């Protein structure tokens, strides 16, 4: 009998997407086959403490009145002290230390800064622990919308025009933001450069909306993008890395976000079932458009040196596809678009998790 693999499931985190990560953890934990895996649930509190969690993770769900949170339960999980061993230890609230055993692979389902941006990946690289997903470079580039666009533009992939401003720019030279509106044309989107799940994003239709939008975005990051709005269908494609040097591959179907009553696909519509948005998977695309989407998605994945997984988001307008962003650790609840695209492509949610773990072990 093949021995079970030990998976450290890392979730929570210091970003504003903490609760999204918690719900993702519940979905993944439900799907991990206990005949194949021993799972160590490691929660990362909003204050940055690694705590040992238990079966309560399975109960995490989106609830507008009580969003899930990793509690500081007094335990502390310690990562390996060097690259010679993969042992995790836990200290309980009374100070007693015990071994959690050797870890085969880490599944870091952290979204946003301090997790999806290369920071956790760098820590795991330092102690030579295999992990699911992209490495330090791709994670950092994919998290920063400015650098994502810069890399993709150099690759010859169409992106929406944009202007970058820092928090200092907004204080000392606010006219730069106002000039961006003239340069790009209204409406525009104002976004934190390094945040996800549409947190801190505003659609600006007039100069009067700019101050509030900049304040909201700067609450999440000290770097902000002002981006030209693109008219078109919102189409998403899922990408998986290839094993043993094989090419990355795109899902055989795409998903579509259909706005029926909201300005854009915001946090409430993504996670709190707010009305005004419908998700369609598979999206209605011709074979030619689907093939082009798949090719662009894999090109973008390779351009940032992606590994493991990504969801690549586009607008499809009269002039073709315009890439919006790459998510190197996309929403991964069972109803999220990334697993939906693979389910419609013939790969179940548990099988997808198996494949990601296999990719992590294959590539390290």
* Contact (Cβ atoms closer than 8 angstroms) between residue 202 and residue 175: no
Q: What is the pLDDT of residues 330-343, one digit of tens each?
A: 988 877 899 999 99
Facing residues of 28 across strands? Answer: none
What is the mean pLDDT of the segment spanning 311-329?
Answer: 96
Q: What is the pLDDT of residues 179-217, one digit of tens each?
A: 999 999 999 999 999 876 677 899 999 999 999 999 999
Which residue among the candidates 269, 325, 345, 349 is catalytic per the annotation? 325
What is the token pair recorded at 252?
Answer: 């055989």
What is the token pair recorded at 258?
Answer: 């259909």
Q: In this predicted structure, what is the pLDDT of residue 1? A: 46
Q: What is the pLDDT of residues 287-315, one digit of tens each?
A: 999 999 999 999 999 999 999 999 999 99
What is the mean pLDDT of the segment spanning 54-63?
Answer: 90
Which residue among the candidates 297, 327, 336, 345 is catalytic per the annotation? 327
Is-catalytic flag, 271? yes
End-to-end CA distance of the chain: 24
Is-catalytic flag, 196? no
| Mean pLDDT taken over the chain | 92
What is the token pair recorded at 324?
Answer: 């919006």
What is the mean pLDDT of the segment spanning 46-64?
Answer: 92
What is the mean pLDDT of the segment spanning 106-125?
Answer: 95
Is-catalytic flag, 3? no
Is-catalytic flag, 197? yes
Is-catalytic flag, 76? no
Which residue among the candidates 313, 324, 336, 349 is catalytic per the annotation? 313
What is the mean pLDDT of the segment spanning 243-254?
Answer: 94
Q: In this predicted structure, what is the pLDDT of residue 197? A: 61
pTM of the model: 0.92
Give the chain's domains with CATH numbers. 5-131 (3.40.50.20), 141-158+231-362 (3.30.470.20), 162-228 (3.30.1490.20)
Q: In this predicted structure, what is the pLDDT of residue 16? A: 85
The phi and psi torsions of 285 (rounded to 5 degrees) equal -130, 145
Is-catalytic flag, 327? yes
Which residue among the candidates 50, 60, 271, 349 is catalytic per the annotation? 271
């Amino acid at each position: 009998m093949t021995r079970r693999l030990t998976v450290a499931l890392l979730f929570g985190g210091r970003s504003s997407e903490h609760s999204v990560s918690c719900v993702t953890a519940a979905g993944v934990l439900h799907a991990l086959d206990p005949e194949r895996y021993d799972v160590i649930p490691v929660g990362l509190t909003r204050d940055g403490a690694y705590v040992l969690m238990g079966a309560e993770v399975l109960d995490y769900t989106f609830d507008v009145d009580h969003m899930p949170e990793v509690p500081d339960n007094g335990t502390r999980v310690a990562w390996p002290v060097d690259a010679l061993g993969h042992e995790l230890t836990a200290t309980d609230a009374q100070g007693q230390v015990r071994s959690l055993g050797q870890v085969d692979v880490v599944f870091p389902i952290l979204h946003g800064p301090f997790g999806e941006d290369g920071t956790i990946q760098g820590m795991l690289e330092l102690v030579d622990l295999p992990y699911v997903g992209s490495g330090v470079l791709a994670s950092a580039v994919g998290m920063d919308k400015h650098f994502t666009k810069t890399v993709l533009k150099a690759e010859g992939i169409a992106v929406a025009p944009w202007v970058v401003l820092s928090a200092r720019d907004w204080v000392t030279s606010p006219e730069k933001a106002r000039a961006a509106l003239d340069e790009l044309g209204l409406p525009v989107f104002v976004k934190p450069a390094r945040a996800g799940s549409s947190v801190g994003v505003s659609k600006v239709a007039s100069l009067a909306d700019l101050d509030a939008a900049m304040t909201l975005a700067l609450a999440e990051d000290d770097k902000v993008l002002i981006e030209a709005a693109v008219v078109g269908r919102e189409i998403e494609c899922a990408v998986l890395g290839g094993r043993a040097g094989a090419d990355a591959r795109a899902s055989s179907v795409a998903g579509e976000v259909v706005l029926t009553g909201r300005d854009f696909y915001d946090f409430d519509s993504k996670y709190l079932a707010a009305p005004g948005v419908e998700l369609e998977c598979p999206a209605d695309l011709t074979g030619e458009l689907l093939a082009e989407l798949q090719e662009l998605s894999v090109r973008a994945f390779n351009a940032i040196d992606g590994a493991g997984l990504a969801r690549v988001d586009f607008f499809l307008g009269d002039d073709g596809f315009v890439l919006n962003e790459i998510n190197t650790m996309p929403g991964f609840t069972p109803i999220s678009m990334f697993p939906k695209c693979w389910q419609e492509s013939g790969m179940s949610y548990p099988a997808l998790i198996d494949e990601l773990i296999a990719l992590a072990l294959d590539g390290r």
